[in-house]
């Protein structure tokens, strides 16, 4: 970062960062990013170690958005199991500071901890996949797209005490589906979904694609698709997964950046470009399987893993698996293990990994969690303060909001611009309907475990408009009747 613009000069080691509720002393730098720096601090009132994310002054809009996203996430049941706790928010030297619980290391650091990549075993990948699928399922209920899922943004909580317990971090680029504009470039190149490359409408299916790429990275110790350029990444996708369907290519804003029409036949073909570096070494996903597997149970587990990857890396997002369905996949539930194989060393290893992670066995077969849609905005203020243990965050967030800035609505339905227009005519409508996220109100849990349904604001607006229309019509008829009587 440029030292003249970086907040580092105001955030030196041992500096004190005062907030309204506490004081934090910087002890170390944990990393840098496009928004600013992350520091390790001591919370002076308790001597607790925390992570303080410092945003550069020009990125205060990213900070505001991240606070708003965390306000939503903190209202979800069991949110602290899957998302980092945001405990404080304040300004220092015109830089917004967000205080989070201190986590361990990210998955990229885990794989590359010894200099050489060390791929994970399938039992280890399974517990990470299950937790991330629950995380995506929770995000789906809120209509939030993370848009930046990669190994660096999946953190181990405490690898010594809870091996492979993870949380998804960094919501600085997250957004509501309705806020996504078609053609916007999101996601790192190696983890970018085909619909984003092509400039098509996008939804939360992009996060499922990214998670699939992360699981391959954990299995291979390297990225599946190129990160050198967008063209190379698309070329790798085509080589492994095949061509995107014509219904996608015909309406893509950026289709011609990668493809051209073969004049005689009128079919789409990938453009040929001279580029450095070889293409990916795999012809399909089956080729990534490890060689010389002698254990038949491990072989079956590998086939189940590849089956899940194929569902997650479907080029057409309408056919891509959803989190709730993925949680029922045999790789996650381990139902493909023979019933008489409990004495198998591989099966015992799989169950032990779950136990050490302190992941409940029943949660491995967890079905879709029905969590409050529309961010539980319609719940009472008392209920919000009860669920969010850091009410100071809301007040602190309002202190640094720009004058005249419009705070995004907490409830918004998907805009027409993001409706999927590239549905293949030969797809299974019943299956697609099963995979499609619900657009109606779904359940929200209150502290007394009672369940209530939350209406979507857009529906309320329409009902209000209809009522106003009929009210005006009624008044008009009354006036006409009065004139007739006179």
Q: Give me the active site residues, please.
A: 148
3-state SS of the chain? CCCCCCHHHHCCCCCEEECCCCEEEEEEEEEECCCEEEEEEEECCCCEEEEEEEECHHHHHHHHHHHHHHHHHCCCCCHHHHCCCEEEEEEECCEEEEEEECCCCEHHHHHCCECECCCCCHHHHHHHHHHHHHHHHHHHHHCEECCCCCHHHEEEEECCCEEEEEEECCCCCCEEHHHCCCCCCCCCHHHCCHHHHHCCCCCCHHHHHHHHHHHHHHHHCCCCCCCCCHHHHHHHHHHHHCCCCHHHHCCCCCHHHCEEEECCCCEEEECCCCCCCCCCCCCCHHHHCCCCCCCHHHHHHHHHHHHHHHHHCCCCCCCCCCHHHHCCCHHHHCCCCCCCCCCCHHHHHHHHHHHHCCCCHHHHHCCCCCCCHHHHCCCCHHHHHHHCCCCHHHHHHHHCCCCCCCCCCCCCCCCHHHCCCCCCCCCCHHHHHHHCCCCCCCEEECCCCCEEECCCHHHHHHHHHHHHHHHHHHHHHHHHHHHHHC
135-159 in b/e form (b: 16+ CB < 10 A) is: bbbbbbbbbbbbbbbbbbbbbbbeb
Say how many residues make up the chain: 486
């Amino acid at each position: 970062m440029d030292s003249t613009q970086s907040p580092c000069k105001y955030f030196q080691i041992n500096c004190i960062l005062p907030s309204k509720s506490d004081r934090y002393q910087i002890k170390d730098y944990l990393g840098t990013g496009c928004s600013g720096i992350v520091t390790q601090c001591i919370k002076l009132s308790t001597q607790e170690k925390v992570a303080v994310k410092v945003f550069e002054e020009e990125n205060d809009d990213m900070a505001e958005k991240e606070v708003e996203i965390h306000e939503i996430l903190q209202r979800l049941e069991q949110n602290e199991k899957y998302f980092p706790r945001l405990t404080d928010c304040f300004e220092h030297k015109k830089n917004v500071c967000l205080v989070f619980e201190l986590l361990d290391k990210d998955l990229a650091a885990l794989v590359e901890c010894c200099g050489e990549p060390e791929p994970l075993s399938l039992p280890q990948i399974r517990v990470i996949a299950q937790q991330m699928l629950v995380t995506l399922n929770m995000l789906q209920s809120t209509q939030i797209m993370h848009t930046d899922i990669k190994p660096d943004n999946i953190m181990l909580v405490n690898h010594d005490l809870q091996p492979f317990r993870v949380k998804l971090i960094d919501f600085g680029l997250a957004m509501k589906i309705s806020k996504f504009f078609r053609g916007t470039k999101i996601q790192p190149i190696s983890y970018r979904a085909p619909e984003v490359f092509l400039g098509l409408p996008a939804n939360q299916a992009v996060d499922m694609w990214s998670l699939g790429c992360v699981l391959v990275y954990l299995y291979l110790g390297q990225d599946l698709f190129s990160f050198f350029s967008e063209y190379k990444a698309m070329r790798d996708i085509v080589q492994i997964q095949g061509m995107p369907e014509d219904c996608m290519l015909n309406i893509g804003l950026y289709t011609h950046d990668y493809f051209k029409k073969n004049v005689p036949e009128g079919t789409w073909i990938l453009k040929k470009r001279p580029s450095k570096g070889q293409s990916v070494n795999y012809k399909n996903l089956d080729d990534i399987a490890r060689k010389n597997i002698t254990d038949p149970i491990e072989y079956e587990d590998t086939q189940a893993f590849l089956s899940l990857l194929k569902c997650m890396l479907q080029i057409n997002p309408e056919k891509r698996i959803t989190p709730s369905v993925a949680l029922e996949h045999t790789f996650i539930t381990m139902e493909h293990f023979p019933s008489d194989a409990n004495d198998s060393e591989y099966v015992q290893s799989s169950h032990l990994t779950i136990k050490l992670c302190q992941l409940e066995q029943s949660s491995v077969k967890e079905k879709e969690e029905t969590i409050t849609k529309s961010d539980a905005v319609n719940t009472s203020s008392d209920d919000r303060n009860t669920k969010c243990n850091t009410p100071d965050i809301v007040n602190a967030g309002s202190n640094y909001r720009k004058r005249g800035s419009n705070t995004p609505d907490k409830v918004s339905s998907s805009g027409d611009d993001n409706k999927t227009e590239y549905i293949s005519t030969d797809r299974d409508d019943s299956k697609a309907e099963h995979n499609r996220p619900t657009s109606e109100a779904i359940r929200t849990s209150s502290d007394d475990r009672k369940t209530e349904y939350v209406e979507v604001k857009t529906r309320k607006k329409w009902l209000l408009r209809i009522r106003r229309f009929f009210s005006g019509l009624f008044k008009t008829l009354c006036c006409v009747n009065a004139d007739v009587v006179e």
